[in-house]
Amino acid sequence: MEVIRVEGGYPISGEVTVEGAKNSVLKLMAASILASGKTVLSNVPNISDVHVMGKVLTYLGASITVINEHELEIDTTNVHKYDAPYHLVAQMRASTAVLGPLLGRFKRATVAMPGGCNIGARKIDMHILGLEALGVSFEITHGNIHATIPNGLHGATIKLEFPSVGATENLMMASVHATGTTIIENAAREPEIVDLANFLCEMGAHITGAGTPIIEVKGVDHELSCVPHHVVVGDRIEAGTFISIGGLCKDPVVVKGFNPQHLSLVLKKYELMGMNIEYGTNWVRVSRDRDLQSVDIQTLPYPGFPTDMQAQTVCLLALANNSSVVTENVFENRFMFASELQRMGAQIRIEGHHAVIHGIRKFSAACVKSPDLRGGAALVMAGLVADGYTTVSQIAHIDRGYERFVEKLQGLGASIARIEVPDEEE
């Protein structure tokens, strides 16, 4: 069993460059199905979730060529299947993003129900309701969603109950070939939504309003074209993770390769917590010369505080000078990592979707388990300043979203390594 072992107390400083956004590239890969031919994506992170989406596309009939470590060519000429089986969907919830593109290309799709996951149910109800408004008929049998378009896709006005990223993406991709205009109200506004909309427009779609609460899609009746080259937007969550690490460890850390405006609220909160932050067009420099200050935060859809930065921020607040309350409004099970952080001495009390945190002076090294992607990163982060050796197991979660996480931390001065241990030691 492979684990990450960290020896705390080493100075952390220097420069680190983040990869392309996990939450964008997966949907761009899915969107490539809408056209027949070769699409090239660059700034692609080499992470396990990308590998899984590659398996989904390969199963459907696409061929994927790795041009170099961060560039993929996706040839969808021979895509002929329109079903995404459970053994692939179960590995990664984002696999359901092929629903919209398959409907757009084949007028039918079969996708396994995603079920629950560690951080919450991620229900697909809003996807189905929105697609039904466009003329899609659904039948759910034997754990599969069977979608057909008996009378063609037609534009509609769809108001989402919640600004769901996945539902917004599937509706955008499905509606590019609908007759008339589709309006998505209360749409998700994340930068990754904007990246997908730009990509679809490069393919020949007509989409406006991405990044605002109202997105308009004017259906086109011509075939979409492949995109010869698209650069994936920088990963704001990977950037935020390294910024939080710099703020935790005090010495200057420069994080490059992303748009700081995509983390504006996080950076404001971190300044209130006592961090010194400078930034340019694609970089942030963070350091700290005073104690961490307690603040309250609540996670909300973009441009609110991202749920994907909640665990890293709780790690910071666990060492702050007073008490803080963190409210999780997006996923119901996102505090699972807190019990592992408590093993390292953190004083955290969970009350429903609130975490009440009382700051302590120092973390105590311990053996902990990564419960999910961001929680795992937060536990490694805590180990950087703990007294002694911290071992983090179940690191496959971390590999889903961070490329060369250990190597990048080593480059900043951390005493950290991936090691093999017997299963009973894990």
**Cis before residue 303, ω within 30 degrees of 0?**
yes
> 23 a known binding residue?
yes
Please give the single-letter amino acid code of residue 115.
G
Is 308 known to sit in a ligand binding site? yes
93 is in an annotated binding site: yes
Q: What angle do CA 374, 211, 47 make, to 5 degrees?
A: 30
Whether 285 has a binding-site annotation, put simply, is no
Q: Are 215 and 168 in contact (CB under 8 A)?
A: yes
- Count of CB atoms situated within 10 Å of the CB of 351: 10
What tokens appear for 203 in the block? 């393919």
Which two three-digit tokens encode residue 10? 């080493």
Q: 318, 346 in Cβ contact below 8 A?
A: yes
The rounded distance, in Å, linking the Cα atoms of 297 and 356 is 11
CA distance 119 to 400: 14
- The token pair that represents 388 in the structure block: 């002694």
Phi and psi at residue 256, to the nearest 5°: -120, 160
226 counts as catalytic: no
Q: 159 pairs with which residues across the strands?
A: 185
* Residue that has been written with the tokens 């935790």 in this structure: 248
Of 117, 201, 226, 249, which one is the catalytic site residue?
117
Residue 122 is assigned to a ligand binding site: no
Known binding-site residues for phosphoenolpyruvate equal 22-23
Known binding-site residues equal 22-23, 93, 308, 330
Positions marked active-site: 117
